[in-house]
Chains A and B, each alone.
Chain A
Amino acid sequence: MTIAPEGTARSNAILAVAFSLMLLLPSLSRAQEAARLDVFGGFSYMRFDSPSIGYANYSNLYGWNAGATANIKLWLEVAVDLSGHYGSHLDVYNYTFGPQYTWRRENYRFFVHGLFGKDQTRANITQPTRPYFESVGRAYGGGGGFDWDCSPRITIRVVQADYLRTDTFGATQGDIRVSTGLVFHFGHIGHRPKL
């Protein structure tokens, strides 16, 4: 048994479910209003596919995840997603953006998104001539999450989970990222319900 086939099967399953949700969600949207801009920030965990760059095992990295979402329609948004994760002599940064579909209910939301952009991975292996090795490559993937409103302006992002494929150090990685934090809302679009 090898590592790669297991990881590939799991990642394909995640992507298939995420894609299915993306197709289904727009028609199920029910809310009548949304914020013009959502800004998210929070804690994040990443299981980095470090065997692809010669590590003996996968690496558990911890860091931050931040992003902003501009609402174009009630169900369609453009998401910018940034994250940084650290540990196991690794610093991993992802800079991505992509479409996001949101299914809005009265005080909670499900969303799924596709992400495309760049990955920057730094291996902190000190050498006499350099302090680290760094590689920048493309990143793409997708995921989704669940938000729960706790006030008109602030929402708790209970969970955001993404699968990211990245190409660094001449290899392809399949990374899983899980984040949680707060979402702040600015402005609004759509119709406010009459009281």
Chain B
Amino acid sequence: MKRNVYLRTTLMIAESVATGTPQGSLRPSRFVCLCLIALGLAALGGCNAASSHTAYLSLPESNAVAAFRIDNGSAKFTQIVGSPYLTGTSPGPLVVNPAKTFLYVANRIDDTISRFKIDSSIGSLTEVAPRVSTGLTPSDMVMNGAGTFLFVVNQISSNISVYSIDSASGALTQVPGSPFSTAPNPVTLAVTPSSKFLYVVDSNLALVFGYAIGASGTLQQIPNSPFAVGNGPLAIAIDPGEHFLYVVNSSDGTVTIASINSSTGALSEVVGSPFGAGTTPIALCVSPNRQYLYIANQGSSNITGYTMDLTTGFPTLITGSPFGGGGAPALIVSDPNGNFVYTVSQTSSNITVLSVTAGTGVLAATSESASTSVAAVSMFVTK
């Protein structure tokens, strides 16, 4: 509408000039007014930028984090100016606080955590010194829903470092008792949305250890923990409703689904678990509406999709599954609105955008894609 008024105004000016009647129908003062109105409308039209979210990917071969802005409607990726931003040596897991003011990335060779301030309008990163020490080889990292605690699982030192987060400065302070010991070779972890429970995956033992999170961030192992899963568990996810926990078992090509006891945190496998996936599943994500579970199968280069029964946790394979996933997907992340799924291939350094069909969860290829200079090992998408 505004653009039509603007075009009509400019065409009227052009017509008046062409007919040589500036002092008649179009006096100079009127011309000035029309110019200013047209420019004002043009400027207003330009302010209607589409909403967007951001994605950050760690690039260990470059010792950097890449940053992209993603259009909510089209999923078009635009690299943020200055990206990639330098980190410590071999950055791996990364996480952004809920206020989107700080990004934390674990440097797996330095055994440190870098803290970056995020510019709210740009999305650019500026590191805030100093880096904080953690355990040996931090392999994964999560933050609780309130953004008050950061949990880091250290693969070689076999423990969990817990940090309290200063909301203003983003500074990390290790909580009393941290690091907390766990079994050898923990690889990944997940925290429930209510921040009551933390689950740590031990790949060698094929176990999931559960911990209750205290008010001060201390960890207390849940009764009956650990819980057995399939062989070679590598990734874990918790449904946003906090009813179910999902673990992909890379050696078995399956996914274990367990219900979470809301008061104790105890896990119980749902009937029929584990369920089939593709070859070497190594990542998974749950749609924001909890309805769909997507599993990235690196070995078979595709994505298994399930529709979830939100009461029983029983999955039903989505029609057409498995879907093409952009070639050996190693990471899979849902966009915050549940309209797209992003997969990252470590062999091609490509980011593939798949659209999610509303109502069915069917994944379809889109024309959008992006790439990083080197392979990414972790991806975080902001809300």
Residues of A at under 8 Å CB distance from B? Answer: 1-3, 6-7, 9-10, 13-14, 17, 20-21, 24-25, 28, 47, 50-58, 88-89, 103, 105, 108, 110, 123, 125-129, 133, 146, 148, 158-159, 161, 169-171, 176, 178
Contacts and interface: CB of A to CB of B under 8 A. Distances in A.
19 contacts: A2-B73, A10-B3, A28-B17, A50-B122, A51-B49, A53-B78, A56-B49, A57-B47, A57-B49, A58-B47, A110-B17, A123-B81, A123-B122, A123-B124, A146-B35, A169-B81, A176-B39, A178-B39, A178-B43
B78 A54 contact: yes
Contacts of B78: 51-54, 171
B79 interface: yes
Contact of B50 (A2, A13, A25): A2
Nearest to A133: B82
Residue among A20, A53, A123, A128 with max Cβ neighbours from chain B (10 Å): A53
B11 A56 contact: no
Contacts of A57: 47, 49, 121
Nearest to B45: A10
A159 B126 contact: no
Residue among A6, A7, A17, A125 with max Cβ neighbours from chain B (10 Å): A125
Interface size class of chain B, counting residues whose CB lies under 8 Å from the partner chain: 35 or more
B311 to A, nearest CB: 37
Given A108-B28, A148-B28, A89 B35 contact: no
B82 A127 contact: yes
Interface stretch (B63-71, B276-284, B289-297): B63-71
Chain A to chain B: the 6 pairs with minimum beta-carbon distance, closest first? A54-B80, A53-B81, A123-B81, A57-B49, A54-B69, A133-B82
Interface string B121-159: 111101101000000000000000000000000000000
Contact of A20 (B14, B45, B83): B14
A53 B47 contact: no
A126 B81 CA distance: 12
B78 to A, nearest CB: 5
A89 B83 CA distance: 15
Contacts of A133: 81-82
A2 B71 contact: yes
Given A6-B48, A125-B122, A159 B35 contact: yes
Interface in B173-201: none
Contacts of B39: 159, 161, 176, 178
A128 to B, nearest CB: 6
B50 A9 contact: no
Given A2-B50, A21-B17, A125 B42 contact: no
A13 B50 CA distance: 21
B32 interface: yes
A158 B32 CA distance: 7
Contacts of A171: 78
A128 B63 CA distance: 14
A53 B121 CA distance: 12
A125 B80 CA distance: 11
Interface in B86-139: 86, 119, 121-124, 126-127, 129
B31 interface: yes
A150 B7 CA distance: 31
B22 interface: yes
A53 B22 contact: no
B10 A13 contact: yes
Interface string B32-48: 10011001001101111
A123 B68 CA distance: 16
Nearest to A54: B80
B35 A161 contact: yes
B18 A127 contact: no
B30 to A, nearest CB: 11
Contact of A54 (B14, B68, B126): B68
Given A20-B14, A56-B52, A123-B124, 20 more contacts: A2-B50, A2-B71, A7-B46, A13-B10, A17-B13, A24-B14, A24-B18, A51-B78, A53-B78, A54-B80, A55-B81, A58-B47, A110-B17, A110-B22, A123-B81, A125-B119, A126-B126, A129-B86, A159-B35, A159-B36
A127 B7 contact: no
Contacts of B82: 123, 125, 127, 133
B14 A21 contact: yes
A16 B363 CA distance: 42
Given A58-B46, A58-B47, A146-B31, A128 B81 contact: no
Contacts of B46: 7, 10, 47, 58, 176
